[in-house]
Amino acid sequence: MPRFPGILLLLALYGVLAVGFSIASPPFEKPDELNHVAFVQYLATTHHLPTFPAPDEPGAYYGQEAGQPPLYYAVATLLAGWSLTDATFPPRNPHANLGNPLQPGNKNWVIHGPEEAFPWQGMALAVHLLRFFSILLGAGTLFFIWRIAQDLFPGQSRFPLAVTGLAAFLPQFLFITSAVSNDALMLFLAPLVLWLILYGFGPDARRLPHWPDALILGMFLGFAGLTKLSGLYLWPVVALAYLIHGWLYRDWADTLAAGLLTLLAAAGIAFPWYARNWRLYGDPTALTPFLETIGRRTTPIDPVTEFQGLRISLLGLFGWFNVPLPGWIYTLWDTFLALAGIGLLQGVWRRRFRLRPWHSRAFFLLLVLWLGLLLLGLIRWTTLTPGTQGRLLLPGLVSFSLLVMLGWREWVPGKDVWLALPPGALLLLSLYSLIWVIPAAYRYPRLISPEAIPASARREPIIYDGRIQLLGAEAHPRTLHPGQRFQLTLYWQRVDLIPYNASLYIHVLGRDFQDLAQVNTYPGWGAAPTRGWPPDRVLVDTYEITLPWEMTTPTQALVDVGFYDVETRTEYPGLLASGQAPRVGLLTLRVLPLTPSQPVIPHPTHFQADQLIRLGGFDLSAPPYHAGDTLSLTLYWQALAPIPEDYQVFVHLVDEQNHLVAGFDKAPLDGWWPTHQWEPGQWVADTYPLPLPADLRPGRYQLRVGLYRLSDLARLPLTGPASQVLDNAAILTDITIQP
């Protein structure tokens, strides 16, 4: 068989990539992997199948997987159950971000430690053994995809390899077939059963399987029903193959006999499991208690959102559906699928006369039916549970790959070399995912010596609970607009042994200490819990934080950090070396409006303070004014140049004898926009309430404002119209207090 070495090379490439995917993802960082391993552990230690745990049952890590058919777990117990008897599961990450690929950090569902390092033992050994078992099943999946394509297109060695390559190098296929999951066995059984149909009936359903073939077909059909509920979708596909043959060739007696043999073999294998479920739950599929365990959908279905989830998770979405590829890659994937779909429709239209009679393409119809049943099942599943997962369509990968490559071939007729382009592109994408995307999600933060902390980041250490010290912090950029993000880097060091995993909070506070943004996490975005910190090294802990669009500007924002216990919500005290509490605000940011605009000033003025600040005008609450009232004065400031220090604003009301009768002093914007932060050219509108004394006598008064330095109370030199400047104060207007 001269074509056989080609599939061997492809399977070897798949094996290398799949082993890489297995090692790149830490244990239990694949969907439901911990639950599947817990099922195997329970079976290995008790020799009984689990039942659904009660809501308050401790230690029932298998969770909803108790409702899964048991074939995969029985085989897995034989392979690795011996390594799980005394193994314990790692603690979970309480800040894990599952199912949201747009959220940064906390991609890890569990806490990883040195016990996972090679040489593997205990739990880590069992996980990797079962992952390698899944990889073997994945290789079998590809072999039968190749056999189906080869039997459908004899004499076209390149096209079957291209179809198989598209499946083999699909990143999501590599990710799932290197996980501990019954998905891997289902992916293997689906093309195997479909190939048995093709082998027994032929592409045109002309043949009828002999009784050994019918028996083997039923046996593997039963295995599919004993692996996942989606395996039952293969049953109507097999039944339709028998019906097509019987209807076309009218040999109903032989057809019914062979079909009955297949059905009895399948039912004999699968029936005991479904009978057990009926006895335990009153539901042969155990779907009702399954949904009660994981929770039913409570939100309406958004078709656009669900489709987006389907398209990205079919190509590649790693971790717990939270480690995505770059967005432009999904756009290219969409374009390729659209071209393939158009090509497929064009090919059908061009050959519309040659496709008759339809029964000559009977097996193609079964492949389309199989993919359609999976899609309908996925839609039904989406109505019951939140989140559309593309991996649930992977059992139909043989149908998908064939149809896609047939559509692609329409664009490059007679140019077989171009058939390698889609699989080759996916191969490069899988290498990129393996080398960069997946490892980056779980990478431990950089460790440096204390001397390597940048001088710009160093600060007086803050010591938390006598065990953790913050040696430095820096943010970049420090000037932002709403909706922009900044990078915060913290430099931590262990002072003493840390017997707990402390949670880190990062708060960005705006005006009046409004919480603009916050991060709650274990350090290192979940990858570096405090208990495992090495001594004498500094942990470089970096975060990207986005400011909300809805915030008042301009303003100064404070970045505050600290540690707390996630269970008790108790904060660990942080103190300076002097024993004093640090001030709120580790760092300050300048947040400027996106589009600075010239304000509409009711009463323009022309004053300048030391050539640094312009007072461009004011607004005052309308008269009449009475004793006991509070006047509302708005001043319009503009920085003319960078301001080197902070100044206070005073608002004075003086009588005709130049005596102060009322006054109000404060920092601009109540301290949230100190003058050293002001941006040259931008306007600052600031309101000052001026309470009038209750015993203020009626008469005429003068309203004056100015700026002074808080350290020595020296006023800033003020220039303006000579008649309106007195003692470095701007005379804004006269007001009359009514009786």
391 and 292 in one domain?
yes
Q: N- to C-terminal Cα distance for the chain?
A: 112
- C-alpha 436/C-alpha 84 separation (Å) is 31
Peptide bond into 477 cis (omega under 30): yes
**620-636 residue pLDDT tens:** 999 999 999 999 999 99
Region of poorest pLDDT, from 240-249, 348-357, 402-411, 488-497:
348-357
153 and 292 in one domain?
yes
**712-721 residue pLDDT tens:** 999 999 999 9
Peptide bond into 717 cis (omega under 30): no
**Residue 493's beta-bridge partner residues?**
469, 538
- In angstroms, the Cα distances linking 407 to 172, 340, 411 are 21, 4, 7
| Position with higher pLDDT, 5 vs 734 | 734
Residue 135 lies in a domain: no
| Position with higher pLDDT, 533 vs 57 | 533
| Position with higher pLDDT, 638 vs 385 | 638
Residue 524 lies in a domain: yes
Percent of the chain with pLDDT over 70: 97
Written as six digits, the tokens of 123 are: 């739990």
Nearest to 604 by CA among 650, 646, 643, 636: 636
Residue 1 has pLDDT above 60, yes or no: no
Q: Half-sphere exposure (CA, 13 Å, Cβ side) for 19? A: 7
Query: What is the per-residue pLDDT for 79?
Result: 95
353 and 207 in one domain?
yes
- In angstroms, the Cα distances linking 531 to 105, 340, 428, 535 are 19, 52, 38, 11
Written as six digits, the tokens of 27 are: 């244990």
- C-alpha 572/C-alpha 488 separation (Å) is 21
- C-alpha 573/C-alpha 159 separation (Å) is 66
Rg (CA), the chain: 36
State which of 591, 617, 634 marks the end of a domain: 591
Count of domains forming the chain: 3
Q: Which helix (H) or strand (E) holds 222?
A: helix 211-225
- C-alpha 241/C-alpha 230 separation (Å) is 18
- CB count in 10 Å sphere of residue 228: 23
* Averaged pLDDT for residues 64-93: 93
- C-alpha 283/C-alpha 303 separation (Å) is 30
514 and 465 in one domain?
yes
Q: Which helix (H) or strand (E) holds 700?
A: strand 699-708
Residue 64 has pLDDT above 50, yes or no: yes
Q: Which helix (H) or strand (E) holds 366?
A: helix 362-384
**Residue 572's beta-bridge partner residues?**
563
Mean pLDDT (the chain) is 92
Written as six digits, the tokens of 599 are: 């304000």
Residue 81 lies in a domain: no
Residue 529 lies in a domain: yes
Residue 8 lies in a domain: no
Residue 654 lies in a domain: yes
Local structure of 623: helix, strand or coil: coil
508 within 8 A of 517, measured Cβ to Cβ? yes
State which of 415, 438, 461 marks the end of a domain: 438
402 and 462 in one domain?
no
State which of 438, 457, 483 marks the end of a domain: 438
* Averaged pLDDT for residues 62-70: 90
Strand spans (E) along 501-659: 503-509, 515-521, 538-546, 555-564, 571-572, 574-576, 587-591, 603-609, 613-620, 625-626, 630-639, 648-654
Query: What is the per-residue pLDDT for 412?
Result: 85
**647-668 residue pLDDT tens:** 999 999 999 999 999 998 999 9
- CB count in 10 Å sphere of residue 335: 10
- The CATH number for 462's domain is 2.70.50.60
229 within 8 A of 291, measured Cβ to Cβ? no
- The CATH number for 616's domain is 2.60.40.2550
657 and 623 in one domain?
yes
Region of poorest pLDDT, from 74-78, 473-477, 681-685:
681-685
179 within 8 A of 186, measured Cβ to Cβ? no
564 within 8 A of 571, measured Cβ to Cβ? yes
540 and 427 in one domain?
no
**204-224 residue pLDDT tens:** 888 899 999 999 999 999 999
Residue 304 lies in a domain: yes
pTM of the predicted protein model: 0.87
**173-204 residue pLDDT tens:** 999 999 999 999 999 999 999 999 999 999 88
Domain that residue 171 falls in: 140-438
554 and 681 in one domain?
no
pLDDT band at 391 (very low <50, low <70, confident <90, very high): confident
- C-alpha 80/C-alpha 44 separation (Å) is 9
**280-337 residue pLDDT tens:** 999 999 988 888 888 887 778 878 888 888 889 999 999 999 999 999 999 999 999 9
- The DSSP letter of residue 296 is -
Residue 74 has pLDDT above 90, yes or no: yes
Local structure of 477: helix, strand or coil: coil
191 and 158 in one domain?
yes
543 and 408 in one domain?
no
Residue 4 has pLDDT above 60, yes or no: no
Residue 266 has pLDDT above 90, yes or no: yes
465 and 503 in one domain?
yes
Nearest to 242 by CA among 254, 233, 230: 254
Residue 348 sits at the vertex; the CA angle it makes with 346 and 350, to the nearest 5 degrees, is 65
Residue 55 has pLDDT above 90, yes or no: no
Residue 39 lies in a domain: no
Q: Is the dihedral of CA 255, 258, 260, 263 positive or negative?
A: negative
pLDDT band at 2 (very low <50, low <70, confident <90, very high): very low
295 and 169 in one domain?
yes
Nearest to 72 by CA among 31, 34, 30, 43: 43
| Position with higher pLDDT, 223 vs 578 | 223
